[in-house]
Chains A and B, each alone.
Chain A
Amino acid sequence: MKVTRRDLLVWSAGATAGLLFTPVPWKLLDDVSIWSQNWPWIPQPTRGPVDVKLSFCTLCPNGCGMRVRMAGGWPVGVAGAGCHPVSRGALCPLGFAAHQLNWHPRRLSRVCYRGNTSSWGEARVAFTKACGEGPIMIIDGHPGRAASSAFETFVQRRGSYRVVPGQETRALAPYGTWSGIPAAALGYDLENAGTIVSFGAPLLDGWGTPGRLTRLWAERAAGLADPQLHLIQVEPSFSRTAARAWQYVTIRAGGEGAVAEGVARVLLEEHLVPARGPMPSLTLVEVAEQAGVSTDAIRDLARTIVARPPVVAVADDNNPAIAALNVVLGAVGARGGIVRRSKHIRQDVCAEAAIRGMRAVLIDSTVPWDFVPQTDAEVFRFAAWDGGSTKADWLLPAPGFLEDLTDVPTAPTSGMETYAVAPSLAEAPTEVQSAAQFLSSIDPTLVTVDKVIHTRCSEIFRQRMGTLWGQDVTPVAKFVSVQKLEEELWKGAVWIGEPHHAGGLRCQLNDWPEAIGPARTSNASPPWLVPVLPSLASKLYQESGLRESPEGRSA
């Protein structure tokens, strides 16, 4: 029988009709829809038990307390830990996406020598050779850690140890010079202040321990016509802090020091403070000229700030004029002012950009990326993320966020002494080593981070001073063994030292110091210490327009 075209048509019609009465079209319709709901190229979250661990943010020296949510052994979420007495459960915006930083596209994952892939073995050989040939320098970003201690031990007979301080620490430098007490031992007793005059310091925007200021402001100042805490912002630009301050004084860029001088002059001339001198060199008219504000406004400012004592002035950077204003205000060594929080800290030597006479320089991953030494020495740069161009000879991949055990010493601006331990929560890539591990591999006798932490815990236990803030608040004296104490610290508790003493810090001014212009020209963004932002932060900042795009900053 011959098959005609008509047969084919009829057959197809039959087959089509038949197909409608089979599951084929309907099941496929359903399955294809399900497929579109579970596209295979869409990332799937990990399955596994969820767990919450307490830890500390190690991105900057402030070490805010964190609750880290873990799923399947990986950190999947970060929130503030309310038990931390300084950060008080608040985090800066970056902290919330910090756990994503370890997968940042600019994460360093291999040893690089002058742009070429190298190995840890070669880096070790090069560094060992350098150690044998001349003095070396280790530059640290977060001083006072166990690793810092290891660095100092390593360089004892081999060279020198330097620190790159943050802006907040630099702002405290004049008091250190005048009092002889290391600036690293000083802090602000903002909790007891009645008026805070900020000269361009981004107090509500990531200054110091971010949560400390925001919590304080929210509790005592926000939304009140005459709040308990007067926050006065003196700044050229209408920053986030200026927008939210109780009073905002707009000045010409670089006029902070002049305003401080003018205010001090009014205070002294009108006897608004007990202090008697020395008198600032600038006249009010000169101040008004330099700062771009009227003399009346300066007088008003001076009268306003003393209306609610105690008063403290906060500088954005090392500015002796502002420090001198604090001396005039009597804020140094006083309740609600600049205080000495601990006894046993020695002055760190600040790293200069120009380094001479060194055979090699090792820069720890905690040093901000924009610190670029000018030197002919061989530079060993540790970093977890690639921040763009660098002059380092060796680029060494360091552990990222929560990938390495570290301890967290007192935050730079804190008014109280703290100590905490941030254990490693995330598995580091195999190609990664911290500077301390690297040095240990060269000098096996070098003290390790966990040993130093143990020693420090023992010291705390031995002195039986302070309190441990964890799930409960327990005085150290109640601990029966150092192991118990250490266990608590490893679980995320914070040790708080004895309350600061108002006394013990005296600054005597003979001459009015010379004002220094601002170190930074732009304070639109806070001094982030990570060379890259979490991808999420980059995205959200770009999309909300809240902050400048990070691309512009890191370039």
Chain B
Amino acid sequence: MARTPLVFGLGLAVALLVGWVAFPRVLYVQRHQPLEFRHKTHAEKSGIVQCSECHAFRDDGTFAGIPSIAICTACHSERIGTTNAEATLVENYIKPGQETPWLVYARQPANVWFPHAVHVQRAALECRECHSPYGESDEVRIYQLNRVSGYSRDIWGPSISRLRRAPHEGMKMSDCEDCHRRRNVEVGCIGCHQ
């Protein structure tokens, strides 16, 4: 009669293994950025200190997000390095005047209105509070695309259980809400959805 718990346990174990280990690998597709862009190297070599020097605000208060190729061209109009990425940048994007098809880790869907101006300029939040200190590292992260929802993994956060995640990890609505609750800022649906 010890057979039944054994078989049951086996099913349980297989399910747990599949759910926790295999499932996240299947759910997310790994994509590489078109270029190996290193934040730290750029900061050191060009003397850029502020994020907003490249990730700028426009005059009407909107946030430009990832800078356009024009900003890259300012320094890289000709090859200034020997790496493959440098060659790709100059040959594939700068010379034809084409925008780099960056994969945006923090991209929210069309129904979300996230005003950087309100958070950064009015509430004076640091970029790293939401975007992690990625801008200070030399890491080139792999972009993970959720096959079902089409979202970047950063929206859910690196932990599949969403337990024990760092404050900057996760960009789901509940994360926004948590932060708002902590800071006692109340907004209705209209405040963040368009």
A and B touch in the complex (CB under 8 A): yes
A residues contacting B by CB (< 8 A) are 7, 10-19, 21-24, 27-28, 30-32, 34-35, 37-38, 40, 44-45, 49-50
Shortest distance from the beta carbon of A302 to any chain B beta carbon, whole Å = 57
Are B110 and A14 in touch, CB under 8 angstroms?
no
Contact among B4, B150, B161 with A40 in the assembled complex (CB-CB below 8 Å): B150
Query: Does A15 contact B15, Cβ atoms closer than 8 Å?
Result: yes
Nearest CB in chain A: distance from B186 CB, A: 24
Neighbouring B residues of A16 by C-beta, 8 Å: 11, 15
Structural contact, B15 and A14, CB atoms closer than 8 A: yes
Bitwise interface map of B from 110 to 124 toward A, beta carbon under 8 Å scored 1, else 0:
110000000000000
Which residues of the partner chain A approach B19 to less than 8 Å between Cβ atoms?
Answer: 18-19, 21-24
A545 CB to closest chain B CB (Å) equals 31
Q: Are A22 and B18 in contact (CB under 8 A)?
A: yes
Q: Which residues of B contact A45 (CB under 8 A)?
A: 110
A-B contact count (CB 8 A): 95
- Complex A-B: 22 CB contacts under 8 Å: A11-B8, A13-B8, A14-B8, A14-B10, A14-B14, A16-B11, A17-B11, A18-B16, A19-B18, A22-B15, A22-B19, A22-B20, A22-B23, A23-B161, A30-B149, A31-B27, A32-B148, A34-B151, A38-B110, A38-B111, A44-B110, A49-B58
Is the C-beta of B192 less than 8 angstroms from some C-beta in chain A? no
Q: Which of these, A13, A19, A22, A35, contacts B149 with CB under 8 Å?
A: A35
Set A11, A15, A35: member contacting B150, Cβ < 8 A: A35
C-alpha spacing A160/B9, complex, angstroms: 95
Taking a contact as CB atoms closer than 8 A, the residue among A7, A15, A49 that contacts B12 in the complex is A15
- Do B146 and A31 touch across chains, with their CB atoms under 8 A apart? yes
Known: A37-B111, A40-B150. 9 other contacts (CB 8 A): A10-B7, A11-B7, A11-B10, A21-B15, A22-B15, A23-B23, A23-B161, A38-B109, A38-B150
Whether the Cβ atoms of B7 and A7 lie closer than 8 Å is yes
Q: Which of B22-52 contact A (CB under 8 A)?
A: 23-24, 27
Most buried by B among A14, A31, A38: A14
With contacts A44-B110, A50-B62 taken as known, whether A11 is within 8 angstroms of B11 at the C-beta atoms is yes
Write the chain A residue with the least CB distance to B58.
A49
Q: Which residues of B contact A (CB under 8 A)?
A: 3-4, 7-16, 18-20, 23-24, 27, 58, 60, 62, 64, 109-111, 146, 148-151, 156, 160-161
Contact B110 A49 (CB under 8 A): no
Chain B residues within 8 Å of A50, by CB: 60, 62
Q: Is the CB of B62 within 8 A of A24?
A: no
Q: Which residues of A contact B24 (CB under 8 A)?
A: 23
Contacts of A13 in B (CB 8 A): 8, 11
Contact between A14 and B27 (Cβ–Cβ < 8 Å)?
no
> Contact: A19 with B15, CB < 8 Å?
yes
The reply to whether A17 and B58 form a contact with Cβ atoms under 8 Å apart is: no
Shortest B71–chain A CB gap in Å is 14
Contact B14 A15 (CB under 8 A): yes
Interface-central residue, B9, B19, B23, by most chain A CB under 10 Å: B19
User: What is the minimal beta-carbon distance from B97 to any residue of chain A, in angstroms?
Assistant: 14
8 smallest A-B Cβ distances: which pairs?
A: A22-B19, A14-B11, A18-B15, A34-B149, A15-B11, A31-B148, A14-B8, A18-B12
Chain A residues near B64 (CB, 8 Å)? 49
Contact A17 B12 (CB under 8 A): yes
Contacts of B7 in A (CB 8 A): 7, 10-11, 14
In the complex the two chains form, what is the Cα distance from A50 to B110 in whole Å?
15
Neighbouring A residues of B18 by C-beta, 8 Å: 19, 22, 24
Q: Which residue of A lies closest to B64 (CB)?
A: A49
Let me know if A28 and B109 touch, CB within 8 A. no
Alpha-carbon distance between A31 and B58 when the two chains are bound, in angstroms? 33
**Chain A contacts for B111, CB-based, 8 A:** 37-38
Please tell me if the beta carbons of A17 and B15 are within 8 angstroms of each other in the complex: yes
Inter-chain contacts of A27 with B (CB < 8 A): 23, 27, 156, 160
Residues of chain B within 8 A of A35, CB atoms compared? 148-150
- What B residues does A17 contact at CB under 8 A? 8, 11-12, 15
Q: How far is the CA of A440 from the CA of B108 in the complex (A)?
A: 49
Task: Tell me whether A24 and B23 are in contact (CB under 8 A).
Answer: yes
A23 touching B160 in the complex, CB below 8 Å, given contacts A14-B7, A18-B19, A34-B151: yes
B23 to chain A, nearest CB (A): 5
List the B side residues contacting A28 at CB < 8 Å.
148
Q: B161: nearest residue on chain A (CB-CB)?
A: A23
> With the chains together, A12 CA to B10 CA distance in Å?
10
CA–CA, A14 and B14, complex, Å: 9
Q: In whole angstroms, how far apart are the Cα atoms of A183 and B106 in the complex?
A: 62
Pairwise interchain contact A18-B13, C-beta atoms closer than 8 A:
yes
Cα distance, A11 to B15, chains bound together (Å): 10
Q: Which of chain A's residues have a CB closer than 8 A to the CB of B161?
A: 23
Q: Measured between C-beta atoms, what is the minimum distance from B9 to chain A in Å? A: 6
Closest A residue to B4 by beta carbon equals A10
B150–chain A nearest beta-carbon distance, Å? 6
With CB as the reference atom, state the residue of chain B lying closest to A44. Answer: B110
Query: A34 to chain B: which residues have CB within 8 Å?
Result: 109, 148-151
The answer for the CA separation of A489 and B148 in the assembled complex, in Å, is: 51
Known: A7-B7, A11-B10, A50-B62. A22 touches B16 (CB 8 A): yes
Q: Which residue from chain B places its CB closest to the CB of A28 in the assembled complex?
A: B148
Q: Find the B residue at minimum CB distance from A21.
A: B16
Contacts of B60 in A (CB 8 A): 50
The CA of A16 and the CA of B161, in the complex, are separated in Å by 18
Rounded to whole Å, the gap between the CB of A293 and the closest CB of chain B is: 55
| B160 surroundings in chain A (CB, below 8 A) | 23, 27
* Most chain A CB inside 10 Å of its own CB: which residue of B9, B11, B18, B148: B11
Which residues does chain A contribute within 8 Å of B11, judged by CB atoms? 10-18
List of A residues within 8 angstroms of B14 by Cβ: 14-15, 18
A10 to B14, alpha carbons, bound, how many Å? Answer: 13
Can you name the residue of chain B whose Cβ is closest to the Cβ of A19? B15
| Chain A residue at minimal CB-CB distance from B151 | A34
> With the chains together, A45 CA to B161 CA distance in Å?
33
CA distance in complex: A14, B4 (Å): 10
Chain B residues closer than 8 Å to A44, beta-carbon distance: 110
Give the CA-CA distance A38 to B148 in the complex, in Å: 10
B150 contacts which chain A residues (CB < 8 A)? 34-35, 38, 40
Kindly list chain B residues whose C-beta atoms are within 8 Å of the C-beta of A30: 149
When chains A and B are docked, how far (Å) is the Cα of A273 from the Cα of B62? 63
Inter-chain CA distance A212–B44, complex, in Å, is 61
Residues in B with CB closer than 8 Å to A32 are 148-149
Chain B nearest CB, measured from A4 CB (Å): 9
Q: How far apart are the CA atoms of A23 and B8 in the complex, in Å?
A: 20
- A14 contacts which chain B residues (CB < 8 A)? 7-15
